[in-house]
Amino acid sequence: MKLPIFLDNHSTSAMDPRVLETMLPYFVEKFGNAASRNHAFGWAAEEAVENARKQIAKLIKADPKEIVFMSGATESDNLAIKGVLEMYGEKGTHIITSSTEHRAVLDTIKALEGKGKITVTYLAVDKFGMVNPEDVRAAITEKTILISVMLANNEIGTINPVKEIGKIAKEKGVLFHCDATQGVGKIPVDVQEMGIDLMSFSAHKMYGPKGIGALYVRKKNPRVRIVAQMDGGGHERGMRSGTLPVPLIVGFGKACELCEQEMATDTARLITMRDRLEASLMKALEESYLNGHPINRLPGNLNISFAYVEGESLLMGMKDIALSSGSACTSATLEPSYVLRALGVGTELAHSSIRFGLGRFNTDDEIDYTIKKVIEVVTKLRDMSPLYEMAKEGVDLKSVQWAAH
Ligand SMILES: *Cc1c(COP(=O)(O)O)cnc(C)c1O
């Protein structure tokens, strides 16, 4: 086993070596521009791009013509939201989203809202982080042009009832955008069955290269149109100009193919490891609380709050394991994760949360090491905590009168 251990697969994933292998010829040997229509270099590049487009479309049950290449999910979320508003803004300017969306969606929407271009309904989620489809229905007005709800959350892994939301969107004739960045390649995604009109996803979250992602844009029932946010050569059927990064696209295609072929075995392995990690930590460490949905959750996700322990201190105490905490102590505000707050998790417990993100390359040995280390460091930190001591002695901490500084 090699240290440090990478358990932060929601932030990015290691590229699969098989992906790299398929990319390599496209840097030096087959370097053509896929838009060069009149020579063999261009033809070879175009063929590789179209092959990747097929591999990607197949994974999400789309038509290859519905895949538009982007630099990643952030750009894809931006284009979906701004592109729809610019195309359909005369019909209305109301957008429905949820309070636990990724910043790529929330910040885009907030920016438009701040400029007075749209009105927004931010749907609350339940204690597991799930959007209620009936809340979506109730929020729709005549002015609603877009619903943007994510497939799976990047912090707590909760999977939304996207199919039900898609059905309501269709019934009401409102477009449905889904940020599926955490879900594609990990759980089955079918844009038809889920009634998705626009979908954002990214290669580097699914063992592909960084710097490439896609926007799925439905071509029929209904035919969705968006206004490009990048002017240039009219690439990607006019929706995203710019020379295509052929090696990245080839890698993205291969990553999708591998996910499709190995999803069942990856999922089974991840669930076994994740459940063992969860059960071992919960058993050894009292006052540990699971954040997110106990069942309806990404196979590689585990988010736990260890009461009386600062997430950041915990991470500092185990630098040989790469993890994330729900504490943003580096930011000026000291605000904990807005996702956890949206579930109703208190400030203290939100600051005590750790996100374990397991992926394809994690091993049982790494999980063993992590279990041992987390138990050791949490125990040590609690032993040093006066609050934990008081709580153990039965003092109701809420009743304590803290001295003012
Ligand atoms: C990582 C992530 C993004 C951003 O993706 P990039 O490709 O890094 O721009 C957007 N949404 C979700 C849910 C994510 O997890």
75 and 200 both lie in a single domain = yes
Given 216, 233, 259, the domain boundary residue is 259
**CA 206 to ligand 1 center in whole angstroms:** 11
To the query of whether residue 178 is one of the catalytic residues in this protein, the response is no
Find the CATH number of the domain harbouring 310.
3.90.1150.10
Q: How far is CA 127 from CA 164, 203, 238, 269, 331, in A?
A: 19, 30, 42, 27, 26
E strands, 14-127, where? 67-70, 94-98, 119-123
What pLDDT does 234 receive?
A: 93
Per-residue pLDDT at 331: 52
Do both 103 and 252 map to the same domain? yes
How many domains are there within the chain?
Answer: 2
Q: Do 255 and 373 lie in a common domain?
A: no
Q: Which domain holds residue 136?
A: 17-259
Which of 9, 131, 179, 181 to probe ligand 1 with, by most ligand atoms within 8 A of CB? 181
Q: How far apart are the first and last CA of the chain?
A: 48
Residue 329: per-residue pLDDT: 55
Give the pLDDT score at 156: 98
Nearest-CA residue for ligand 1 atom 1 is 11
Which atom from ligand 1 is nearest to the alpha carbon of 213? 7
Is there a single domain that holds both residue 246 and residue 123?
Answer: yes
**How many angstroms separate the alpha carbon of residue 204 from the centre of ligand 1?**
9
Kindly state whether residue 149 falls inside one of the protein's structural domains.
yes
Q: Classify residue 404: in a domain, yes or no.
A: no
Kindly give the number of the ligand 1 atom that is closest to the alpha carbon of 205.
1
Residue 228 and residue 303 share a domain = no
Question: Would you say the CB of residue 101 lies under 6 angstroms from ligand 1?
Answer: no
pTM of the predicted protein model? 0.96
Q: Is there a domain that residue 405 lies in?
A: no
138 in the same domain as 243 = yes
CA–CA distance, 318 with 171 (Å, rounded to integer): 50
pLDDT at 221: 95
With residue 6 as reference, give the H or E element that holds it.
Answer: strand 5-6
Residue 351: strand, helix, or coil:
helix
User: Exposed, middle or buried, 274 (CB in 10 Å: 0-12/13-18/19+)?
Assistant: buried
Task: Note whether 62 and 201 are same-domain residues.
Answer: yes
**Quick check: CB of 73 below 6 Å from ligand 1?**
yes
255 and 272 co-located in one domain: no
Instruction: Find the 9 Cα to ligand 1 centroid distance in Å.
Output: 12
Q: Strands, E, within 131-278: which ranges?
A: 144-148, 175-179, 198-202, 213-217
Mean pLDDT, contiguous 10-residue spans, the chain (405 residues): 97 98 98 97 98 98 98 98 98 98 98 98 98 98 98 98 98 98 98 98 98 98 97 95 98 98 98 98 98 98 97 95 81 80 96 97 98 98 92 82 63
Q: Is the CB of 213 under 6 A from ligand 1?
A: yes
Asked if the structure places residue 253 within a domain, the reply is yes
- Model pLDDT, residue 100: 98
- Domain-embedded: residue 402: no
- Tell me if 333 is assigned to some domain: yes
Q: Is the CB of 129 under 6 A from ligand 1?
A: no
CATH number, residue 196: 3.40.640.10
Determine which one of 178, 256, 259, 329 is catalytic.
329
At which of 259, 281, 299 does a domain end?
259
- Nearest CA, atom 10, ligand 1: 73
Residue 71 sits in the same domain as residue 114: yes
What pLDDT shows up at residue 403? Answer: 67
Query: Residue 273: its pLDDT value, please?
Result: 98
Predicted local confidence at residue 197, as pLDDT: 98
Is the CB of 297 within 6 Å of ligand 1? no
Q: Show which of 237, 259, 281 is a domain's final residue.
A: 259
Q: Based on the fold, state whether residues 249 and 307 are members of the same structural domain.
A: no
Residue 332 is predicted with a pLDDT of 58
| pLDDT confidence of residue 395 | 85
Q: Are residues 218 and 334 in the same domain?
A: no
> Does 181 contact ligand 1 (Cβ within 6 A)?
yes
Q: Is residue 399 part of a domain?
A: no
User: Same domain for 89 and 30?
Assistant: yes
Ligand 1 lined by 78 (C-beta under 6 Å):
no
Does residue 283 lie within any of the structural domains? yes
35: amino acid identity, one letter:
A
